[in-house]
Chains A and B, each alone.
Chain A
Amino acid sequence: MALWTSSLHPFLWLIVIPVLASPVVYLAGRLAGAALARWLALIALIVTCAPCVLAAQELAANGAATFTLGLVQLQFDGLSLLLAGLALGLGTSVTLFSNAYMRGETGEEKYYAALLAMIGVMVGLGCANDLFNLWVWFEAMAVSSYMLVAFYRDQPASLEAGVKYLVQSAAGSVLVLLGIAAVFGATGQLSLASIADSVRQAGATQATSAGLLAAGALMTVGFGVKAALVPLHTWLPDAHSQAPSGISAMLSGVVIEAGLIALLRAVSALLGEGDAVARFGQLLLLFAALNMMLGNLLALKQTQVKRMLAFSSLSHMGYMLLGFGVAAYTGQSAAAQGGMFHMLSHGLMKGLAFLAAGALLYTLYVAKGAHGPLMVNDLNGAARRYPLAALALGVAVLGLAGLPPLVGFMSKWQIFVGGFQAGDTLVALLVIFAALNSVLSLAYYAPLVNAMYRREPSHAVRLGAAMPPTMIVPLVVMSILVIALGVWPTLIAWLTEPAGQALLAGW
């Protein structure tokens, strides 16, 4: 029997190169010094961008591609492309940024190896086409992120964050597994497409529908831990603020979004026809409201910059859920696209915000061997000494608050327009609630900008070290993207439109 039933598609290289490069980078770092690991990781990611472009062209020309190896089937559709593009793009910036940030840390080569593995398995997660496969990629992503969150293994706070993250994630992944077992027991299928088929055909006998309902609930909660749906979010502020700054950017910018994509993909297959989709939409809208409100209220009282940004990730998860919830509840394709656009723009802006905050943290503390948290007061007058980093942080947080002409405004706008077009009172009220939340978020973003630009330089800023150029390059590139995509949002439509369609095709 031929094991390879289809030719090698370019999208496979997106998974294969980073995953194979990971042990190579580790060994190179071990044998030839960390400097080699640093640059090898960057080269591997830049090389991976070529098949990414090819896969995108192929997707636009021929539609979704599948690859089968034995029982494992991978499918590359619009949603996979979005996740792959986000993971690779942000991953490359983070690797370049970490070049200086992580220099000289113990176990530097492990950092790059785990980062590469995490990027590769996240692309795989986006391509998974059956439930068990989805879980395996999901668990691999979780394992590599545990190592990265607790990377500073000599700092108590980082260990504590690692323990919280690991225990909650592991419990969540057990729930996902139980849900998959329930689906398998009820339908005898694992492939997402055949589950959806058999759910539609069966028209739900009583016993199967109870099993599927339980499975849907288990998977919503299990994947919800990783996607930080609000009552399940308590690990997020700790993990995102204690991880090395590059990893904070990856976690907030891609990993929680990957959790959300896994949730949407897995649960979509169980819904079948009828009003189950609309009810799932209502559930997403409920989580959207909780996430927006709690994320914003908790962010308001934070005094540490990275912790504040972590809480704001909760509220941005809420905006994404609003887009997808409206799409499921009313069938609005504009809202689904808006949700995808916000996923992308949040990854970009939050990634930039964490990298800029990380750059300041580096110059003020890490470069001097200290590992204190970056307080809001430390930013006082930072714009005088570090104009580019301050500008990048300013652009990022104002974009997150949704000020035009930045990309955050355009993506929120698209979600809101999709919501109003639905013509449903409940949805309209939620959209107004989201808009008010967006204004509320200025209350904690604006003081950051104010502190950087209008205050006298703080003690820490006056004594700060010089900022290395490898840190400035990713900041500048991402700031330009945040502004450019805000002015010309159609530039990115080729990425968000197929993703929205791929999501809606499942409903």
Chain B
Amino acid sequence: MSLSPLAIVLLAVTLLLGVGFYGLLVARNLIKLIVVLQILAKAAMLAFVAAGYGQEHMGLAQSMVAMVIVADTVVAVIALALAVQVRRHYGTLDVRKLTTLRG
């Protein structure tokens, strides 16, 4: 059985999403959490490419993905800056230790 290119890409999207959401549930290290968020964003980008491929709007899809990459990098940069400050003030990157705010 041979898979169509679109099916392969969609399979990859599903896999990335699976890894991403599983990671969101189990990751405890803040840096790992940021990596997981990046994996999720990559899944969304790949989904865009697949949609563009299916609809034969590849140019539009690619330009949008370039935009998503920029926006996503900004988020990652801010997240890493926060992680640096968290390490400095809590002495750990374990998100389970961030428990000052309750109720």
**How far apart are the CA atoms of A298 and B102 in the complex, in Å?**
12
**How far apart are the CA atoms of A146 and B74 in the complex, in Å?**
11
When distances are taken between beta carbons in the complex, the residues of chain A under 8 Å from B61 are 184
Task: Please state if B101 and A157 are interface contacts (CB–CB under 8 Å).
Answer: yes
* Size class of the B contact interface (CB-based, 8 Å): 35 or more
Task: Please state if A156 and B90 are interface contacts (CB–CB under 8 Å).
Answer: yes
In the complex, A415 has a CB within 8 A of chain B: no
In the complex, B57 has a CB within 8 A of chain A: yes
**Nearest chain B residue, comparing its CB with the CB of A153:** B85
The winner among A136, A177, A180, A237 for most chain B CB atoms within 10 A is: A177
Minimum CB–CB distance for A314 against chain B, Å = 14
In the complex, B75 has a CB within 8 A of chain A: yes
Task: Please state if A159 and B82 are interface contacts (CB–CB under 8 Å).
Answer: yes
Task: Please state if B40 and A174 are interface contacts (CB–CB under 8 Å).
Answer: yes
Residues 50-70 of B at the A interface (beta carbon under 8 Å): 50-52, 54-55, 57, 60-61, 64, 67-68
**How far apart are the CA atoms of A185 and B47 in the complex, in Å?**
9
**How far apart are the CA atoms of A397 and B87 in the complex, in Å?**
38
Minimum CB–CB distance for A167 against chain B, Å = 6
When distances are taken between beta carbons in the complex, the residues of chain A under 8 Å from B86 are 159-160, 163
Task: Please state if A163 and B37 are interface contacts (CB–CB under 8 Å).
Answer: no
Task: Please state if B98 and A160 are interface contacts (CB–CB under 8 Å).
Answer: yes
**How far apart are the CA atoms of A156 and B89 in the complex, in Å?**
6
When distances are taken between beta carbons in the complex, the residues of chain A under 8 Å from B1 are none
Minimum CB–CB distance for B100 against chain A, Å = 5
Interface 0/1 of A141-160, CB less than 8 Å to B: 01100110010011111011
In the complex, B41 has a CB within 8 A of chain A: yes
Residues 156-201 of A at the B interface (beta carbon under 8 Å): 156-157, 159-164, 166-167, 170-171, 173-174, 177-178, 180-182, 184-185, 188, 190
When distances are taken between beta carbons in the complex, the residues of chain B under 8 Å from A302 are 103
Minimum CB–CB distance for A141 against chain B, Å = 11
Give the contacting residue for A156; candidates B20, B74, B83, B100; CB below 8 A: B100
Minimum CB–CB distance for A134 against chain B, Å = 12
In the complex, A139 has a CB within 8 A of chain B: yes
Given contacts A154-B89, A171-B24, A188-B55, contact A181 B48 (CB under 8 A): yes
Task: Please state if A136 and B67 are interface contacts (CB–CB under 8 Å).
Answer: yes
Give the contacting residue for B37; candidates A136, A155, A162, A174; CB below 8 A: A174
The winner among A143, A171, A184 for most chain B CB atoms within 10 A is: A184
- For the complex, would chain A's binding face be called helix, strand, loop or mixed by DSSP majority? helix
In the complex, B44 has a CB within 8 A of chain A: yes
Given contacts A143-B74, A153-B85, contact A163 B48 (CB under 8 A): no
**How far apart are the CA atoms of A154 and B84 in the complex, in Å?**
11
**How far apart are the CA atoms of A98 and B48 in the complex, in Å?**
41
**How far apart are the CA atoms of A150 and B85 in the complex, in Å?**
10
When distances are taken between beta carbons in the complex, the residues of chain A under 8 Å from B33 are 167
**How far apart are the CA atoms of A144 and B45 in the complex, in Å?**
22
Give the contacting residue for A146; candidates B20, B37, B51, B78; CB below 8 A: B78
**Nearest chain B residue, comparing its CB with the CB of A170:** B37
**How far apart are the CA atoms of A163 and B52 in the complex, in Å?**
33
When distances are taken between beta carbons in the complex, the residues of chain A under 8 Å from B44 are 174, 177-178, 181
When distances are taken between beta carbons in the complex, the residues of chain A under 8 Å from B78 are 143, 146-147, 166
When distances are taken between beta carbons in the complex, the residues of chain B under 8 Å from A166 are 75, 78-79, 82
Task: Please state if A132 and B64 are interface contacts (CB–CB under 8 Å).
Answer: yes
Given contacts A136-B71, A143-B78, A166-B78, contact A181 B103 (CB under 8 A): no
The winner among B17, B30, B37, B50 for most chain A CB atoms within 10 A is: B37
**Nearest chain A residue, comparing its CB with the CB of B78:** A146
**Nearest chain A residue, comparing its CB with the CB of B100:** A157
In the complex, A238 has a CB within 8 A of chain B: yes
When distances are taken between beta carbons in the complex, the residues of chain B under 8 Å from A143 are 71, 74-75, 78
Task: Please state if A150 and B41 are interface contacts (CB–CB under 8 Å).
Answer: no
Task: Please state if A170 and B75 are interface contacts (CB–CB under 8 Å).
Answer: yes
When distances are taken between beta carbons in the complex, the residues of chain B under 8 Å from A241 are 101
**How far apart are the CA atoms of A71 and B40 in the complex, in Å?**
27
Task: Please state if B74 and A184 are interface contacts (CB–CB under 8 Å).
Answer: no
In the complex, A368 has a CB within 8 A of chain B: no
In the complex, A99 has a CB within 8 A of chain B: no
Minimum CB–CB distance for B64 against chain A, Å = 5
When distances are taken between beta carbons in the complex, the residues of chain A under 8 Å from B75 are 139, 142-143, 146, 166, 170, 173
In the complex, A248 has a CB within 8 A of chain B: no
Minimum CB–CB distance for B22 against chain A, Å = 13
Task: Please state if B54 and A185 are interface contacts (CB–CB under 8 Å).
Answer: yes
When distances are taken between beta carbons in the complex, the residues of chain A under 8 Å from B98 are 156, 159-160, 163-164
Other A-B pairs beyond A160-B99, A164-B98, 14, CB < 8 Å: A132-B64, A132-B67, A143-B74, A153-B85, A156-B89, A163-B30, A170-B79, A181-B47, A181-B51, A184-B61, A185-B47, A185-B50, A185-B55, A238-B101
By a beta-carbon cutoff of 8 Å, the part of chain A in contact with chain B is: 71, 132, 136, 139-140, 142-143, 146-147, 150, 153-157, 159-164, 166-167, 170-171, 173-174, 177-178, 180-182, 184-185, 188, 190, 237-238, 241-242, 298, 301-302, 307
Per CB-CB distance, the 3 closest pairs between chain A and chain B, nearest first, are A185-B51, A181-B47, A188-B55
Interchain Cβ contacts under 8 Å between A and B, 16 examples = A136-B67, A136-B71, A143-B78, A146-B78, A154-B89, A156-B89, A160-B98, A163-B95, A170-B37, A177-B44, A177-B68, A178-B44, A182-B47, A184-B48, A184-B51, A185-B50
By a beta-carbon cutoff of 8 Å, the part of chain B in contact with chain A is: 17, 20, 24, 30, 33, 37, 40-41, 43-45, 47-48, 50-52, 54-55, 57, 60-61, 64, 67-68, 71, 74-75, 78-79, 82-83, 85-86, 89-90, 95, 98-101, 103
